[in-house]
Amino acid sequence: MTYRKDSSPLGLQPIDFIPEVPQRLTDDQNDKEIPVVITASDDRLGGVIATVNSIHQNTKSNVAFHIVTLNDTVDHLRLWLSKTSLENVKYRILDFDPHLLDGKVRTDSEIPDSIKPLTFARFYMPNWVPNAEKAIYLDDDVIVQDDILELYNTKLQHGHAAAFSDECDSTTNKFAVRGAGNQYNYIGFLDYKKEAIRKLAMKASTCSFNPGVFVANLTEWKLQNVTKQLEKWMALNVAEEIYSRTPAGSITTPPLLIVFYKRHSNIDPMWNVRHLGSSAGKRYSPQFVKAAKLLHWNGHFKPWGRTTSYAEVWEKWYIPDPTNKFNLIRRHTDIYETK
């Protein structure tokens, strides 16, 4: 099935969809489709490939990948998927229009590429999978080591539009990130000196959550106009700078923290074992890494970069680029041992 590049009010353009359904998915025609949304930028494309491969190899469920990208990445992505062992993966490529962010993101004239448009794709979840009731969003620096169906089946409380991993859960509490400051609290992301934030009466010490892995109830998302709410706070930040300026600050996390304050469910901490990219050293034991259901290299040190912890675990799922445009620059220093 091929989709025309029709324009839409949001500038979302479905580009293509693999017509062949893998044989393993045809055993039960009534299998519920599991939509997984992930973004793909050319300089991080190897991460997307590894993520997709790890999910594909660890499930028998009917997974459909909705890959959001920019026009200049489409051909490269399609070639990588079609010329490798991922040729039978069910996927759809969607183009993200950066103009969606006009007036909603502060830009630095001295650093023209400081804003990465695709990081905001998660704000527009219902547009990527308009007919789904539920979907998973994943960053491109994760590896899934268990059946994604379990994450999809996360129970969301009544009235909640999403489930996230709290940064104060038992997994992250055991390991302090050096130099993180208030990264685990709302005050690390929002400027509590600003009246707009004070009026919300949100406790500054409230535990933040990680937005790189979440399960969305898209019915609730649309009912609550979550996307419009997020855009409102984005625009207000452009006008009033309500986000924190601390190192823990992130331009995508603050509006999510506001909109989902005390209105989100939790996912199993083992489905987002994170901060693997916070330093080049190992923060978890090999046994714990092996037991994790999802590994997340959030932080500066990416598994396709020069150095990071447990890069060899990530590389088990990496498929080399048949076009040779994307290459790993890392030098191996770790040895992954399981006992």
pLDDT digits (tens, 9 = 90+) for 48-66: 999 999 999 999 999 999 9
Mean pLDDT computed over 154-176: 81
Question: DSSP states of 308-326 as a string?
Answer: -TTHHHHHTT----TTS-S
Task: Report the pLDDT value the prediction gives residue 332, as an integer from 0 to 100.
Answer: 39
Query: Which range in 25-29, 175-179, 213-217, 251-255 is most confidently predicted, on average pLDDT?
Result: 213-217
Q: What's the topology of domain 30-315?
A: Spore Coat Polysaccharide Biosynthesis Protein SpsA; Chain A (3.90.550)
Confidence of residue 108 (pLDDT cuts 50, 70, 90): low
Average pLDDT for the chain:
86
Question: DSSP states of 155-209 as a string?
Answer: PPPTT--EEEEETTSHHHHTSPPTT-TTTTBGGGTB-TTSHHHHTTT--TT-B-E
pLDDT at 312 over 70: yes
pLDDT at 190 over 70: yes
Dist. CA 22–CA 91, nearest whole Å? 11
The answer to whether 281 and 299 are in contact (CB under 8 A) is no
Q: Would you list the domain boundaries of the chain?
A: 30-315
Q: What percent of the chain has pLDDT over 70?
A: 80
pLDDT at 331 over 60: no
**Measuring CA to CA, which residue among 266, 272, 238, 242 is closest to residue 254?**
242
For residues 125 and 3, the model is more confident at: 125
Task: Report the pLDDT value the prediction gives residue 329, as an integer from 0 to 100.
Answer: 82
Task: Report the pLDDT value the prediction gives residue 30, as an integer from 0 to 100.
Answer: 43
Task: Report the pLDDT value the prediction gives residue 2, as an integer from 0 to 100.
Answer: 33
For residues 110 and 190, the model is more confident at: 190
Mean pLDDT computed over 218-243: 97
Dist. CA 131–CA 124, nearest whole Å? 14
Task: Report the pLDDT value the prediction gives residue 115, as an integer from 0 to 100.
Answer: 76
Task: Report the pLDDT value the prediction gives residue 112, as an integer from 0 to 100.
Answer: 54
DSSP code at position 251 = S
Residue 93 belongs to what H/E stretch? Answer: strand 91-95
Dist. CA 282–CA 275, nearest whole Å? 10
Residue 16 belongs to what H/E stretch? Answer: strand 13-17
Dist. CA 96–CA 193, nearest whole Å? 34
Token pair 């040779």 in the structure block, residue: 324
Beta pairing partners, 64: 35
Dist. CA 290–CA 167, nearest whole Å? 21
Strands 134-138 and 34-40: parallel
pLDDT at 19 over 90: no
CA distances from 192 to 122, 166, 168 (A): 25, 21, 20
Confidence of residue 70 (pLDDT cuts 50, 70, 90): very high
Lowest mean pLDDT among 55-69, 124-138, 204-218, 238-252: 238-252
Rg over alpha carbons for the chain, rounded to the nearest Å, is 19
Mean pLDDT computed over 112-133: 90
pLDDT at 25 over 60: no
Give the 3-state secondary structure of residue 217.
Answer: strand
CA distances from 305 to 17, 46, 144, 149, 301 (A): 30, 11, 19, 30, 7
Give the 3-state secondary structure of residue 104.
Answer: coil
How many C-beta atoms lie closer than 10 Å to residue 224's C-beta? 16
Dist. CA 108–CA 20, nearest whole Å? 44
The predicted-structure confidence for 263-308, as pLDDT tens digits, reads as follows 999 999 999 999 999 877 778 999 999 999 999 999 889 999 988 8
Please give the structure tokens belonging to residue 117: 């448009």
Q: What is the pTM of this model?
A: 0.87
pLDDT at 120 over 70: yes
pLDDT at 6 over 50: no
Mean pLDDT computed over 178-207: 86
DSSP code at position 243 = B
Max intra-chain CA distance, the chain? 58
CA dihedral 106, 161, 37, 296 (to 10 degrees): 80
Q: Identify each DSSP E strand in 208-290 by its residue range.
A: 209-217, 265-266
Confidence of residue 251 (pLDDT cuts 50, 70, 90): confident
Lowest mean pLDDT among 87-96, 105-114, 120-129, 155-164: 105-114
pLDDT at 338 over 50: no
